[in-house]
Each structure stands twice: as C-alpha cells, then as structure tokens.
Amino acid sequence: MTASVDFAFVGGLRQDYCITHDGRVFAGMLGGNAVYAAIGARIWSDSVGLIGRIGNNYPTEWLDELHRHGVNLEGVRQLPEPHDTRTFYAYLSPDERVDTRPASHFLRIGRPLPKELIGYQHSTLDQGNRLGLGPLGVRVGDLPKWIAGSRAVHISPADYLTHLSLPPHLHEVGVPRVTLDPSVMYMDPGFRSELPAIVKGLEAFLPSLMEARAYFRQERLSEWEMAEAFSAMGCPLVVIKCGARGQIVLEAGAGRRWSVPAYPARVVDVTGAGDAYCGGFLVGLHRTGDPLEAALMGSVSASLVIEGTGALFALKSLPDLAQARLHSMRQSVGRA
C-alpha cells in the first residue's frame, strides 16, 4: 500500500469513441475525465493517483499502461460485474461537441457506425440524479487510505451526489486543497438551490463557459459576472474554461482577475483538454499558491494533450517541452 499520493483525481475511466472536428475517427481509446486530469498533472508531478470505479470488463492493458506511466491505481475499484464505460463525442468544431446519437454523426461523415457503439445512448445520464448514485459513481467509502496524506484532490465531472459528498469528507480528513469541475447534467437553473452546497469550501471551481451559460441561461450575465456569482457561493477561485480562447481566472478576495490565452498548439483532438487543464492547474496551485501560475501550467497541460489523440499522448512529449511552453506563456498573459 502506498504511503501517500500528492495529487489525486476522482472521476471516470472510460473507453472513448471520437469524431474530430475535421472528420477523423478514433475508436476504443483509453480516456475518461479523471484519466485526462491525472495525465495533465503527471506532466508536472511524479506523485499522481486515480480514484474511480470500473467494471470487470474494463481493459486490463489500459490499467497496465497507466501504471507503467506512473499513475497510482490503488483508488480504482473494480466491480465484480461488467459495466458500460463507453463515451462518444462528435466535434462540430474545436469548441463545440455533442455526445449523443452517434449513428447520425457517422452517417454525416460517410463512415459506418462501429459495432461497439450499437445501443449507445449517453455517458452521463446518472450525473443529474439527486436521489442516488449510479454503479460507477464514486462513494466516500471508495477513497483509499492514503487520501488523508494527499496535498490536493481534483474531482472531475461525476454524479451530483459524488460532488455533494466528497469535498466535505476530504476536508474532514485533512486534504488542504479540493478543486472541482462540475457536471453539465446539474449545471442548470433547476439546480439553483443545490449548487452552492457543492461550491462552498472548494479551493477552486472550474466550469466550462458552456456550463456557466447553461446554469445562468435565465439571466444576461457577462463571463466575469458569472465568475463572481460562483465565487459568492463560497469559493475563492473561479476559472471559466473558454476553449480555444483560453480561460478567465477570478481571485475574488484579492480583487485579481486574469484573461489567460490558450497556448497556440497544433490541434489534433481536443478531447480531454479541459480535464488536463484541471490537472496542471491543481499541481501549479499547490506548488506556487499563485492562481495565475496555476492557470499557465493548466494551459500547458491542455496544449500537450490536444496535439495527439488518447490520454497518454501528452506524456510522450520531449522532457523540457512543458517548461519551455510555460516560459512562453508567462510572456503572454494580460490582466482583465
């Protein structure tokens, strides 16, 4: 049993099927939001672990690959029965994707539907359930013993009840920093009274611009006004991820805000970019305590992921590339 893991990532380990914005198909790839977040952190740290649930049909060779790349898997619980971990994405542009009706999208590009996607509906149906967890939803009891010694934990998009229950428990056992990326399934005006209970007490809240707009769609708020509203729920740092535009970062208590551009990477596949950003951000925030430096490290992590396909691609880059990009990013940041 590992004594401790510095940076832990809670969420999904998935099998990805993707149509890119330029019509290429990648089928049956190692993916999942927590996996990409862990890889985004692994670029900067040797002490990274995953916490999640999988069925007994999850490819063991993928677990072996993650282990070989230095990701601790003691927090991954394998259930005794098979479970569906398929995720489908079709990108209409680098900033717009859909995740339902795969047959129509394969028809659009003139390709046959992979047999593995027959019967596929949706990968996040359970995430908006107020009353119970899906079988792959992470419970407090799934957390490994080493979690109390972790320096920071990021919770990727997951079941509503996972997001509601885990942060208070992590704080209770002594984890100093908890960040969270919400699920699109509850970023909705119908959860107006519930979201503050999730956001309060987090070190950072990191929704996408699409999710922020969905939550506030009954109001006409600017991006900064949305960030301020999230921060007022009890979270000192809010990052709204804006895709190819980069991110906006609000440190409300200090009255600081930044517009951080995306690194000008050669885009191949944007799957996992936002998750990898969250992983780099977590490591940067712990190491420096500086939200801006954390945002830059997150941007570099995302840039390395999108230049290839599959979660592990970013770890094949040249050893000094991340630091070189970080140095370049420091020259390009503006204060809003």
With b for 16 or more beta-carbon neighbours within 10 A and e for fewer, the 112-125 pattern comes to eebeeeeebeebbe
Task: State the pLDDT at residue 239.
Answer: 99
Beta carbons of 116 and 27 less than 8 angstroms apart: yes
71 strand-pairing partners: 48
Beta carbons of 181 and 156 less than 8 angstroms apart: yes
Report whether pLDDT(77) > 80.
Answer: yes
Tokens of 71: 């990701």
- CATH code for the structural domain at 14-335: 3.40.1190.20
Task: State the pLDDT at residue 333.
Answer: 80
- To the question of pTM greater than 0.85 for the whole model, the response is yes
CA distance 11 to 85: 12
Classify 14 as helix, strand or coil: strand
169-200, pLDDT tens digit by residue?
999 999 999 999 999 999 999 999 999 999 99
CA distance 93 to 91: 5
Lowest mean pLDDT across 74-78, 121-125, 165-169, 219-223: 121-125
Non-local CB neighbours of 280 within 8 Å, separated by 6+ positions = 40, 41, 43, 44, 294, 297, 298, 299, 300, 301, 302
208-225, pLDDT tens digit by residue?
999 999 999 999 899 999
Report whether pLDDT(14) > 60.
Answer: yes
Report whether pLDDT(99) > 60.
Answer: yes
With b for 16 or more beta-carbon neighbours within 10 A and e for fewer, the 56-77 pattern comes to eebeeebbeebeeeebbbebbb
Q: Given pLDDT bands bounded at 50, 70 and 90, which one contains residue 334? A: low
In the chain, where the domains are located:
14-335
Q: Given pLDDT bands bounded at 50, 70 and 90, which one contains residue 130? A: confident
